[in-house]
Structure 1
């Protein structure tokens, strides 16, 4: 493993771990911006699935009481998400690397743009269980495809007048479960080898520590600060990946 690979591995793990600890999602979204520069798509996604799953356990404990207070809401997202996983994994092996990079970068920019407009968007104060299920299905597909299961759910959840803990109580268990199942499926397919396990070990050491810093920040920032931090992270990471991919193409 070269110095460049280790550096990108550490940077991606630090960025993804911190964001996961802070927001309850986003490990793969931010880590892949670095890891796709040094790993092929299948390998980068496979590593991110394991790292996101293990890292997310810490954040799950933070909102355990909120989750248990309304488990049916989480299940409306989670059950359809299982259905989407195998379709996403099947599509992964047929996706061109450049296209995958652009898709990930596009979601980063979409996230940032969404939060910029957040104050002007309507607030949905009524239940929409069918939409919840459709969002969960899409999240499961994207989780299997690129390890970014939270991309669509986070936009939908934030439209609701939920507190940041209520939003995280949906996103954290959804992402953790979807990504963990995806990782298990890839393991049964023989995706993980000794070199990948070494990379995962390095990434976990960094991401678990970074997640603790994110959790610390989560408990001490307000909703407005939380939103602007996401904007900065989304635009910077998305813009860097997008520019590198287009330049390479």
Structure 2
């Protein structure tokens, strides 16, 4: 195993772990941009899913005292998402994953541009549980079709009158749950070979350390700063996603 390979593995793990600790999503968008240069797509995606779950579980433990404020909302997102995953997998057989990713990237960019140009975030005053269910379901569909379970719930949560703790108490367990199911599916399909497990052993320490750094930054942000961070991350993720598919 070359030094260049090890450095690229660590760079992808550090980038993905940090963004996961900071915002609770985005691991794949950053890590895959590096890891797809050095390994087959199936292997890169399988490692990203596993690292996302590991770093996500760590972040859940580190913010465990804040999770209670989102527990009454989480089920409205997560349970419909579980139903949406097999539908997304079936959609993947009809529509190309590349086309789905470009549609989502375009939506993310339009949403981010709209919010930024308004120079203030819109905020909903009334709870909308039916929309929560729909967003959770569609996130599951997109997760099954293109491994993009996070962006849509993140967009929806960013316009809620919630604190950063309440937002994270929904987004983090949601993404861990969806990606945990993906890991089980990948394991059943035999993706975690001996070589893949060796690569995961190299990336794990960097993922955990960078995730803790991301959590430390998250704790220093105000509620407003965190909401704006989500918007800018969605814009950046949309650009990365579009460039990856177009290039």
> TM-score scaled to structure 2, two decimals?
0.83
Alignment map for 1:1-150 (pairs within 5 Å): 1-89=1-89, 102=102, 109=109, 112-113=112-113, 116-117=116-117, 119-150=119-150
Residue 235 (structure 1) shift: 5.1
Instruction: Assess, with a 3 A threshold, how the Cα gap between structure 1 residues 56 and 70 changes in structure 2: closer, same or farther.
Output: closer
Count of residue pairs brought into register by the alignment:
247
Residues 129 and 101 of structure 1: is their aligned pair in 2 closer, same or farther, counting only changes over 3 Å? closer
Aligned to 2:188: 188
Consecutive unaligned residues in structure 2, runs of 5 or more: none
User: CA, structure 1 residues 216+66, in 2 after alignment: closer, same or farther (shift >3 Å)?
Assistant: closer
Contact 2:20 2:214 in 1 (8 A): yes
Structure 1 runs of 4+ aligned residues shifted over 6 Å read none
- 1:177 matched to 2:167? The reply is no
In 1: Cα distance, 2:115 partner to 2:241 partner: 19
Q: 1:84 to 1:121 in 2, by over 3 A?
A: same
Q: Deviations over 1:46-69 (max 9, x none)?
A: 111110001011221243333324
What whole-Å deviation, never above 9, does each CA across 1:91-143 have from its counterpart, x for those lacking one? Answer: 56787686577568657746754663575453112121121111111212233
- Long gaps (5+) in structure 1: none
User: 1:201-216 to 2 correspondence within 5 Å?
Assistant: 201-216=201-216
| Residues 83 and 137, structure 2, Cα contact 8 Å, conserved in 1 | yes
Distance 1:82 1:43 in 2: 23
Aligned counterpart, 1:151: 151
CA RMSD after TM alignment: 3.0
Using the TM superposition, name which of 2-11 and 149-158 deviates more.
2-11
TM-score, normalised relative to structure 1: 0.82
Range that drifts further, 124-133 or 64-73 = 64-73
Tell me the distance in 1 between the aligned counterparts of 2:40 and 2:122.
40
